[in-house]
Amino acid sequence: MSTHSQQNVIFTVKSGGKLAGRARVPGDKSISHRSIMLGSLAEGVTKVSGFLEGEDSLATLNAFKSMGVKIDGPENGKVTINGVGLHGLQKPDDDLYLGNSGTSMRLMSGLLAGQSFNTVLTGDKSLSGRPMRRIIDPLLQMNVGISAAQNGTSPLKIIGGKKLEGIEYTLPVASAQVKSCLLLAGLYAQGKTCVTEPAPTRDHTERMLQGFGYEVMRKGSTVCLRGGDRLQSTSIDVPADISSAAFFMVGASIAEGSDLVLEHVGINPTRTGVIDILKLMGASIELSNESEAGGEPVADIHIRSRQLKGITIPEELVPLAIDEFPVLFVAAACARGTTILTGARELRVKESDRIQVMADGLKVMGIDAEPTADGIVIQGGQMTGGTVVSHGDHRISMSFAMAALKCTAPVVIEDCANVNTSFPGFTELATGLGLAVSSEVSD
């Protein structure tokens, strides 16, 4: 269990400044998780480069190690996985502790459903409050033996040795994690498993399954696979994470005189909502050096500062930018006019209630931000600075750090230990690009 999550890490950020230079942000978290999961279940040796060495993806890596998979690294983002095949995992000696990682818990529930042994999945306080019914209900339809705590949260108990049946399932809420969980269970199910989405969500699982030689069929908003095939080892170059790049995209957009290039960023079309939304607000963003890495499109992103304008965010872009909204709210606070977000109820059940927590922090900084049931209304204005609480949510911490670029006084952010879950080295990289941020630990 990680001990340092008990400490209160505090960020102090001086006001003003600009972002300039070139940087490569850490590897994509979603793809890092999946590379370990599928690499472990493949036959042969899978080599991964660009792996995100953050606590969330390391939780996934350690879970598979404890199920008997030999994994070397990570060292400088390089990981070597000696795959054991779909049926080669061994029963772990202990419960699998997944820290703060909802992705690990939801996706692993699917693939552990097909094993011959029982497992228990646990997490930290934040993860233990996140809703798991959304995977449990469809898994039960597949004849998975799974149960949760009374309120539908972890610990999750999974009973192995069951014969799984493929199902056709329509997601009530667009969620890549639920879709991925069911597809991974489908690898072990009889017949065909089909998932239909109400709106497009990230498709990293489908792309990577195909990269490992597993046939995935896609028709419109439905994705299907048949159980019983095999995964063949491959090489994966993990692109830089667009969710991590988003903080710097917004920072460079709002801070006058900024000129920044972010290198080798994943621009999977199911993840580029943040670029589309910023462009609608008038941001100056150009893509260059477009190529493919391991089935995933990548590009360099060039951002220059520009006065943004408030917009009504199109609802079809919401699932394509779901993790980037905390920092997009900062962009809205710096824009001329009003920004309105609707159709984003999902933000209330992330690592924190991101709508409420961001609204509270923006109000501390003198911005008029009114939460609604499924979104927020933000009036652009001048941010003052002040002390805000991130509620242990890494994306909230980094969003308020970027806000300081446009504040009249310093910003102090409490409870930032979890920044390491997705962005190790954030303060060093940000400082190198021109953000005056320091961090200290208090008891």
Active site residues: 323
The CA-to-CA distance between both ends of the chain, in Å, stands at 19
Interatomic CA distance for residues 98 and 177, integer angstroms: 15
Q: Which residues contact 214 (CB under 8 A, 6 or more apart)?
A: 187, 225, 229, 230, 231
